[in-house]
Amino acid sequence: MMEAQTIPKPIIPRFPSLKFILRAVAVLIVAALFFVPNYVEDTYILHMMILIFINVVMGSSWNILGGYTGQYSVGHAAYFGAGAYTTMLLLQYKQVAPWYGVWVGAAAALVVAVIIGSICFRLRGPYFVLASIAVAEIFRVATLNLKDITNGAEGVLITEIPPLVIGGRLITDWASKVPFYYIGLVFALLIIGVTWLVRNSKLGYYFQAIREDQDAAHSLGIGLTFYKNVALAISAIFTSLAGSLYAVYVGFIDPSTVLGLDVSVQIVIICIIGGIGTITGPVVGAVLLVPLSEALRSNMITDLLIKVGIVGEETRMGLFLKEHLSQAHVLIYGILVVVTILYMPAGIVGFVRRMTARKARA
Amino acid sequence: MAILELRHVSKFFGGLAANSDVSFEVPVGTIMGLIGPNGAGKTTLFNCITGYYPPSKGEIVFDGRAMNGLLPDKVCKLGMARTWQKVRPLTNLPVLDNVIVGALCRTRSVRDARRIAQEQLHIVKLEGKAHLLAGALPIGERKKLEVARVLATKPKLLLLDEVMGGLNPAESEEIIQLILDIRKEGITQMVIEHDMKAIMRLSDRIVVLNSGEKLAEGSPDEIVNNPQVIEAYLGAES
């Protein structure tokens, strides 16, 4: 065999490359995010940021299974709900503090993942998708009907979160949004870090090989069931963290808000719009979709159109939008997904990458 | 010594016998040719040997170990690797990453795997294309990538399913040289090929399959002069 030195090295890009600049900007943004609560008093902005962080965690977790391993689960509400319900029930009925409860929730999600994985991974392609929906629905219906444990359709409301005291010092009494902001930020950075580690390890190569061609992967020594279950386990654990944080932050859950099919779909849409199988995709997806859905729901867009003067407040158009646009957010979501799939099948991140690659060649 | 031994292997799909009662041995370090008309059951036999189907009857012994019921990933770990008649590149991954996936069969470290992968790409002369997506390669280079990828799993026995199919003569010649080089490394090979000239040149021994059964076995000279083989390929004289 020949010496390794004779192998030509890839061309070294100009310094500082675009990639380097983007990375530096990302680091600065992350650093800045830690100081946001010091300067921003507006609770609505903090609320939006917390929701964005939760959605980043949801999207990035799904991305490990769906984006890297190619197993399109549309049943991730099961793990979100497993985390949310475990943490909430422990807190409300057993007085277990949520900072312990989330880990029990993660363990519960892991158990759910093993059950779902052993059923669904026998199937491939669309059959896997359908099975993942069905199994998640089973969990929703079970939660709805096991009234003695879950309080059924009435849901679980927390009345009080115990103050967090470390070494006799009060860290927070959870009265403001700031502690939730920091927890959300840390969870989001954690899953992004985990995704990065996975992508650059043996796991990442194996996950992507399974996504590209299962039979070829199998013949190269990759145990399909084992590695799919590993991807699902990582994905489920972090999805449950998002679920627990959401539940404790909002303070109320019921089967439809944390276990419904629309939670599963929301998770997938974040990734489709942002870009499947990339680290930044779910982040971009969450940053775009959370404000959009909030704006639609709260009729902010109609108010803006009227303020700018594009539609008059008393015209038929104005009245129509005022009445109906806030109910149409699902419709607009749908249109957005269709447009993305038609014109940017690799999501926004994929689209931008292709554009910059084209520019670099020209 | 035989690295692979088939004992009365049969594979049925419903009532159809794709392979019936096939027995032969592959000696260490040799190239075994596997030929036969279309539908003779060559690829099915490969699938049985590499664990994609369990054989319906009979035993497959690799390196002194019975393989029955082992899944393809375990088979690969034990040192038996195969290529596909219809190539299966991991299209959206770079060429280098395709080979790294193969190399990770023997190591946990991505860095080691990358080094092994670069060596293998060098051997098949694809090092210049390492950073292209595998899906962007033309068929000749995809076949070479397929070989580099299985070589990276460090096999003791390599099963090549029509690696020269669809290639032009120059490309075929490169693959022939590659197969001969691989033999020099001491890796045993089993080769399915339709190109008779190539298979006669490469093989130490040849097994002929016809309608799922072993029709003949012998050296290339014995096979070309075997009346039954001639009949199977050219039809019986009437």
Nearest to A8 among B108, B113, B128 (CB): B128
Separation in Å, CA of A209 to nearest CA in chain B: 6
Nearest to A277 by CA among A218, A202, A199: A199
What pLDDT does residue A11 have?
58
What pLDDT does residue B14 have?
87
* Pairing state between β B65-66 and B213-218: unpaired
What pLDDT does residue B238 have?
54
What pLDDT does residue B112 have?
93
Q: Which residue has the tokens 């629309």?
A: A262
With 60 as the cut, is the pLDDT of residue B115 above it?
yes
Nearest to A239 by CA among A25, A74, A98: A74
What pLDDT does residue A1 have?
43
Residue A224 corresponds to which tokens in the numbers above? 């399909």
Give backbone dihedrals phi and psi of A22, rounded to 5 degrees, phi first: -60, -40
- Distances in whole angstroms, Cα of residue A211 to Cα of each of A72, A207, A226, B157, B223: 10, 6, 14, 27, 43
Could you report the per-residue pLDDT of B158-201, keeping only the tens digit for each?
999 988 888 888 989 999 999 999 999 899 999 998 888 889 99
Question: Residue A335 falls within a domain, yes or no?
Answer: no
Look at chain A and report how many structural domains it folds into: 1
Question: Residue A16 falls within a domain, yes or no?
Answer: no
Bridge partners (DSSP) listed for residue B216: B208
What's the CA gap between B58 and B41, in Å, rounded? 16
- Mean pLDDT, chain A, as a whole number? 87
Hey, are the CB atoms on A205 and B110 less than 8 Å from each other?
yes
Percent of residues, chain A, with pLDDT higher than 90: 48
DSSP letter (8 states) at residue B107: -
Q: How confident is the model at residue B93 (pLDDT cuts 50, 70, 90)?
A: very high
What pLDDT does residue B237 have?
61
What's the CA gap between A39 and A18, in Å, rounded? 31
**Domains, in order of start, for chain B:** 1-79+157-166+187-238 (3.40.50.300), 84-154 (no CATH)
What's the CA gap between A219 and B84, in Å, rounded? 10
What pLDDT does residue A311 have?
73
What is the mean pLDDT of the segment spanning B90-109? 93
Spatial contact of B31 and B179, defined as CB atoms under 8 Å apart: yes
What pLDDT does residue A332 have?
81
Q: How confident is the model at residue B37 (pLDDT cuts 50, 70, 90)?
A: confident
Question: Residue A173 falls within a domain, yes or no?
Answer: yes
Question: Residue A210 falls within a domain, yes or no?
Answer: yes
Residues of chain A with pLDDT under 50: 1-5
What is the ipTM for the molecules in this complex? 0.90
With 70 as the cut, is the pLDDT of residue B236 above it?
no
What's the CA gap between A285 and A298, in Å, rounded? 20
What sections of B85-226 are H helices per DSSP?
Answer: 95-103, 110-123, 139-151, 169-184, 196-202, 220-224
Give backbone dihedrals phi and psi of B236, rounded to 5 degrees, phi first: -75, 145
Nearest to A64 by CA among A206, A161, A164, A162: A206
What's the CA gap between B22 and B60, in Å, rounded? 10
What pLDDT does residue A2 have?
44
Bridge partners (DSSP) listed for residue B160: B191
Give the chain B residue nearest A224 (alpha carbons). B73
What sections of A64-125 are H helices per DSSP?
Answer: 77-94, 98-120
Percent of residues, chain B, with pLDDT higher than 90: 50
The Cβ-side half-sphere exposure at A78, using a 13 Å CA radius, reads 29
| Residue B63, phi-psi category: left (phi > 0), alpha (psi -120 to 50), beta (remainder) | left
Residue ranges with strand state E in chain B = 2-13, 16-27, 31-35, 57-62, 65-66, 80-82, 157-161, 188-192, 205-210, 213-218
What pLDDT does residue B176 have?
92
Could you report the per-residue pLDDT of B14-31, keeping only the tens digit for each?
888 888 889 999 999 999
Nearest to B90 among A4, A202, A213 (CB): A213
Hey, are the CB atoms on B72 and A218 less than 8 Å from each other?
yes
Q: List the domain range (segments joined by +) for residue A249.
A: 43-268
What pLDDT does residue A4 have?
47
What pLDDT does residue A362 have?
62
What pLDDT does residue A14 have?
55
- Distances in whole angstroms, Cα of residue A227 to Cα of each of A65, A73, A106, A340, B58: 10, 15, 19, 30, 31
What pLDDT does residue A8 have?
56
Q: Does A238 touch chain B if contact means CB atoms closer than 8 Å? A: no
Q: Which residue has the tokens 């070494």?
A: A167
- Mean pLDDT, chain B, as a whole number? 90
Under DSSP, is residue B63 helix (H, G, I), strand (E, B) or coil?
coil
Give the chain B residue nearest A205 (alpha carbons). B101
DSSP letter (8 states) at residue A154: G
Count CB atoms within 10 A of the CB of residue A118. 11
Buried b (16+ CB within 10 A) or exposed e, A143-169: beeeeeebbeeebbebeebeeeeeeee
Nearest to B97 among A8, A10, A205 (CB): A205
What's the CA gap between A331 and B229, in Å, rounded? 67
Question: Residue A8 falls within a domain, yes or no?
Answer: no
Give backbone dihedrals phi and psi of B205, rounded to 5 degrees, phi first: -135, 160
Give the chain B residue nearest A2 (alpha carbons). B119
Angle between helices A202-212 and B95-103 (to 10 degrees): 110
Q: Does A12 touch chain B if contact means CB atoms closer than 8 Å? A: no
Hey, are the CB atoms on A202 and B150 less than 8 Å from each other?
no
Sequence-ordered list of residues with C-beta below 8 angstroms from that of A154, at least 6 positions apart, any chain = A254
